[in-house]
């Protein structure tokens, strides 16, 4: 069952099995607020069991671009289009959030972003990345990094 993320009342619905559930819920709410304010898009997630195609697409990009395989279990995912950008998010049990921004026009911006929930350790598979910090009222301190996608997906 899909869940429209409410950024006014942060909820751990769907994320309860994560040791970082509250921080991950704040991170998810932060993303929901961004897309509502910038694009008037309601950020809706679905359980990983219903989002196989999205998770597979994100996993394929990680594997083919950088040889990264995420060891944590995916809990939720979403995929949508705003303007000419295909977006995908996967939220993992460890507290990690991965997003893919894939501009549909040729030579557009395409990247994979990583965000770590407040307080979580950097996963071993992402140890080679440098993470910048940003403050969020909803998510505390978010650490983020990214890489540019070079191939077509």
| pLDDT tens digits, one per residue of 90-99 | 999 999 999 9
Task: Tell me which residue range forms the domain holding 16.
Answer: 3-148
Question: In angstroms, rounded to a whole number, what is the distance separating the alpha carbons of residues 67 and 59?
Answer: 10
103 part of a folded domain: yes
Residue 46, pLDDT score: 97
69 part of a folded domain: yes
Q: For the whole model, what pTM was predicted? A: 0.95
Residue 107, pLDDT score: 78
Question: In angstroms, rounded to a whole number, what is the distance separating the alpha carbons of residues 153 and 47?
Answer: 23
Q: How many CB atoms lie within 10 A of CB 43?
A: 23
128 part of a folded domain: yes
30 part of a folded domain: yes
15 part of a folded domain: yes
Residue 69 contacts residue 62 (beta carbons within 8 Å) = yes
153 part of a folded domain: no
- Cα 30 to chain centroid distance, Å, stands at 11
94 part of a folded domain: yes
- Residues 52-71 have pLDDT tens digits of 999 999 999 999 999 999 99
How many structural domains is the chain composed of? 1
Length of the chain equals 153
93 part of a folded domain: yes
Residue 136, pLDDT score: 87
Asked whether the CA dihedral 25, 49, 122, 17 is positive or negative, the reply is positive
């Amino acid at each position: 069952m899909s869940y429209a993320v409410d950024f006014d009342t942060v909820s751990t619905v769907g994320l309860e099995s994560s040791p970082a559930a509250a921080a991950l819920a704040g991170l998810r709410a932060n993303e929901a607020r961004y897309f509502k304010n910038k694009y008037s898009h309601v950020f809706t997630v679905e359980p990983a069991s219903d989002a196989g195609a999205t998770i597979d697409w994100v996993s394929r990009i990680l594997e083919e671009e950088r040889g990264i395989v995420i060891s944590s279990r995916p809990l939720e995912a979403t995929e949508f289009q705003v303007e000419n950008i295909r977006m995908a998010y996967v939220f993992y049990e460890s507290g990690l959030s991965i997003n893919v921004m894939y501009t549909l026009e040729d030579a557009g911006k395409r990247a994979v972003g990583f965000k770590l929930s407040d307080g979580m350790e950097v996963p071993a598979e992402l140890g080679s990345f440098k993470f910048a910090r940003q403050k969020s009222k909803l998510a505390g301190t978010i650490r983020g990094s990214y890489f540019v996608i070079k191939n077509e997906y």
